[in-house]
Structure 1
Amino acid sequence: MLVAVAAMFTLAACGGSGTNTTAAASVPGVSNDTITIGAVLDTTGPLKVICAPILAGDQLYFDKINAAGGINGRKVKLVQVSDDGDSTKTKGAVRQLFEQDNAFALFQVCGSGNANVAESYTNPKGIPFVDPIGGGSKFVDAQGKALPWVWMTQPNYGDEGHVIGYYLTSKQHAKTVGLLYEDDVLGLQQKSTLSESLQKNGAKLTASIGYNAAQPDFTAAVQALKATHPDVIVLNGLPGPTAKFVAAASSQGYRPPMGYLANYPMADNSWAKVLGSAGDGTYVSGYTSTTSPIGQEYLKATSGDAVFSAYKFYGYINSKIFSDALSKAGKNPTRDSLRDALDHDFNNYDTGFGPSLTWTPDKHGGVSDFMFFQIKQSQLTPASDFIKAAQVWP
């Protein structure tokens, strides 16, 4: 008996490190000194213009966190895989992260359709998936119930469509609006909500022309929209195709009387630079501001960059959100404890870039505040304050 008691005291004395080792060993991606998280960011294909700078922003923030000792004593290891921007390759990339690289959680998949493929793998397995990159990403089921393991940070394109319609009619007094939209999950939702908002505010959608993301020629699309005589044309989609449309219109000597307004994937100076002089005066929807402390912190950290990148800033600020969630998940995080933190510790959470964020077990949507920028000499300059979607719709 004395031997048994002595053994118990010995185990108790060593229990702190031993218990931690056992707990860490039983949780995928968590060791005594590291948390491994996975990301699917296209750094080799058509989405590279967006995803590569996002990855750079991620790494910048995680490097900062790790240099300060990590999160609850563990360094964050970000494992990134590229799916070439091809949603048919996304599932294989996600499987690699969790079946080979043993990741703890999924942080970011670039592209709405790609994110939806990733969700079909992670959600049934109870793997946390934070920050699907794309306003058409799925975060509710067919009945509108929150998917239990997916949390959005950015706005959905439906809310943005309502705010764009309000802004065009109430602030710019447009009466007729044309729409160029990507004919998939990215554009279809916004097509519907933009039309609703315009109608509510006494304007109308004169024409909506869909296009394929790989479409090389926009001559016919320009002619079709021009024929309906819109005051302004809304550009929905991604930087490459929308820039091709503006270039095609410019080559034909056409520009709508009130110009263009682009949705938030174009809210970066790289797009403005591609447009050149044809883009001057164009308005762009966005939802981040650098006037806050974290914005100023980012600007200081990137003072050597040739130009401000909204995409890189996106990576930085969303890595902060995810790091805060990992911290709230406890000293020995599990997937369940991370889920609990995400569902209960983000009530009116200050994102640091303007809008607040609220998640609950029944609400996993992202922020829903938007501001507008105008391109002046190939630079995005603020043109409005934040507008809350809930204030303009219904």
Structure 2
Amino acid sequence: MKKIIGLFIMLGLVFVGCGKQAPTPGVTDTEIIIGNIQDLSGPMKELGAVLPSGSNVYFRYINEAGGVHGRKIKMLVEDHQYNPQKAVVAAKKLIEKDQVFCLYHVIGTSPCEALRPILAETGTPLIAPATQSGTMSDMTRPAGNLIFHTDTGYDKQTVILVDYILKDNANAKIGIIYQDDDYGENVLKGASEAEASQGISIQKEAYQRGATDFAGQVGNMIKGGATHVIIAGVVKEPIIVMKTAAAMGYSPKFFGTSPTMDHRVSLAAGPAGEGFISANFANLWNSDAPSAVKYRELCAQYEVPKAYMGMYHFYGYITAKVLVEGLKRAGKNLTRERLINGLETLNKWDSGAFPPITYNSKDHAGTESVILVQVKDGVQTVITDWID
């Protein structure tokens, strides 16, 4: 009899256990813990502190107003040194040990691509990866349903830049200096599309991530007779390329994909950077766009160092807005699935900075437009409307 009673008790416990829903990782009654992986000590370390600082400006603003459905947002940041393997290690720590709810704004194309298996295995969303690679919005790739992109892809940007150059310069000879990794691969995809549609041949010169000497690439552009050069770098690469070209007496018209859009490029490049045109996926941080105005107000209120303020810091801020909007739409009973469903209700949503953002179950690209920004008298000036 005792054995029978014991059996019923055990079965009862099993059924009670089955009836309980497992707690959502990173979510308590008062807090949402998210994970961010940056380059804090590698070739892009100048951005490593800036991006999460910008995000925390907006998270602080939201937290001080009571959080999202009563929960405060806490962001944990790890360092991957722009190394894909270290990015995977950092992600495993954040997901398995720290039990974060989602990953957010991880920097770098190759590091983000390396995370696909662990995202798919654990069902962890990655919101607003800090890369403009068009591969991030490819829903056919592993974990494609878990990644929400906010920026126009490098491939699309390259096509737009080539079209812009040829519009008024039909005989232009175009060259591209690109990073030899996943970032550059997406740029080359756009270059191939532009070559096919325009019936041209584009000169292509690669460089290794972290390179500081571009004399060879610039020399090859001179030999090839390139009149217009697109630099697919980040911050230091366009500065070095343009200064190297000036020192070699070479003066083509320079352009850049969106990672080169930071105002510090023109400041550091000096006269060599005058006229530089870059693609930009959002309104400028110092513009009259609603989010830019609020951003500057909060930076002043929170006494953010002026050296931090700029497009990359603003990038952190405006992508945080996207995540928060998804959390709001997910509702009080927050789960990863509800976050995904919430984000997929965004339809031409106005962030006050990005072009209108749209997500649905078949498309996580977010946006497909850029504006072009030119350095005039050392100051960045928007020279186009949104181009798609």
Give the TM-score band, short-chain normalised.
Answer: 0.7 to 0.9
Number of the residue aligned with 1:163: 160
Alignment of 1:237-248 (within 5 A): 237-248=233-244
Match status 1:342 vs 2:343: yes
Residues 349/82 of structure 1: CA separation in 2 closer, same or farther (3 Å cut): same
CA contact (8 A) 2:134 2:154 kept: no
Number of the residue aligned with 1:235: 231
CA contact (8 A) 1:269 1:308 kept: no
Segment of structure 1 superposing worse, 87-96 or 284-293: 284-293
Deviations 1:295-344 (A, max 9, x none): 2111222357258400011111110110010111110201111111122x
Match status 1:214 vs 2:224: no
Alignment of 1:299-314 (within 5 A): 299-303=296-300, 305=306, 308-314=309-315
CA contact (8 A) 1:287 1:386 kept: no
**Letter in structure 2 aligned against 1:65:** I
Number of the residue aligned with 2:330: 329
Residues 268/23 of structure 1: CA separation in 2 closer, same or farther (3 Å cut): farther
CA contact (8 A) 2:57 2:299 kept: no
Number of the residue aligned with 2:263: 269
Instruction: Measure, in 2, the Cα distance between the counterparts of 1:227 and 1:23.
Output: 69
Number of the residue aligned with 1:391: none
Deviations 1:347-380 (A, max 9, x none): 2211221411111111111311111111134332
Segment of structure 1 superposing worse, 312-321 or 365-374: 365-374
Instruction: Measure, in 2, the Cα distance between the counterparts of 1:356 and 1:107.
Output: 20
Match of 1:283 among 277, 282, 285: 277
**Letter in structure 1 aligned against 2:206:** G
Instruction: Measure, in 2, the Cα distance between the counterparts of 1:374 and 1:129.
Output: 32
SS at match of 1:85: coil
Match status 1:71 vs 2:68: yes
Residues 141/295 of structure 1: CA separation in 2 closer, same or farther (3 Å cut): closer
CA-based RMSD:
2.3
Instruction: Measure, in 2, the Cα distance between the counterparts of 1:24 and 1:296.
Output: 43
SS at match of 1:80: strand
SS at match of 1:227: helix
Instruction: Measure, in 2, the Cα distance between the counterparts of 1:155 and 1:373.
Output: 15
Alignment of 1:106-185 (within 5 A): 106-136=103-133, 138-139=135-136, 143=140, 147-171=144-168, 173=170, 175-185=172-182
**Letter in structure 1 aligned against 2:313:** K
SS at match of 1:356: coil
**Letter in structure 2 aligned against 1:213:** R
SS at match of 2:317: helix
Alignment of 1:19-34 (within 5 A): 26-34=23-31
SS at match of 2:340: helix
Post-superposition offset of 1:46: 1.5
Alignment of 1:39-50 (within 5 A): 39-50=36-47
Q: State the identity as a percent.
A: 26
Segment of structure 1 superposing worse, 204-213 or 188-197: 188-197
Deviations 1:19-43 (A, max 9, x none): xxx9897111111100101110122
CA contact (8 A) 1:61 1:319 kept: yes
Segment of structure 1 superposing worse, 189-198 or 121-130: 189-198
Instruction: Measure, in 1, the Cα distance between the counterparts of 2:248 and 2:95.
Output: 50
Number of the residue aligned with 2:357: 357
Post-superposition offset of 1:189: 2.2
Q: Structure 1, unaligned stretches of length 5 or more?
A: 1-21, 389-394
Number of the residue aligned with 1:14: none
Segment of structure 1 superposing worse, 68-77 or 149-158: 149-158
Instruction: Measure, in 1, the Cα distance between the counterparts of 2:73 and 2:169.
Output: 46
CA contact (8 A) 2:24 2:335 kept: yes
TM-score, normalization by structure 1: 0.86
**Letter in structure 2 aligned against 1:230:** A
Residues 318/199 of structure 1: CA separation in 2 closer, same or farther (3 Å cut): same
Residues 146/116 of structure 1: CA separation in 2 closer, same or farther (3 Å cut): closer
**Letter in structure 2 aligned against 1:331:** K
Consecutive aligned runs of 4 or more in structure 1 exceeding 4 Å deviation: 22-25, 140-146, 171-174
Segment of structure 1 superposing worse, 291-300 or 169-178: 169-178
State how many pairs are aligned.
Answer: 363
Instruction: Measure, in 1, the Cα distance between the counterparts of 2:294 and 2:210.
Output: 37
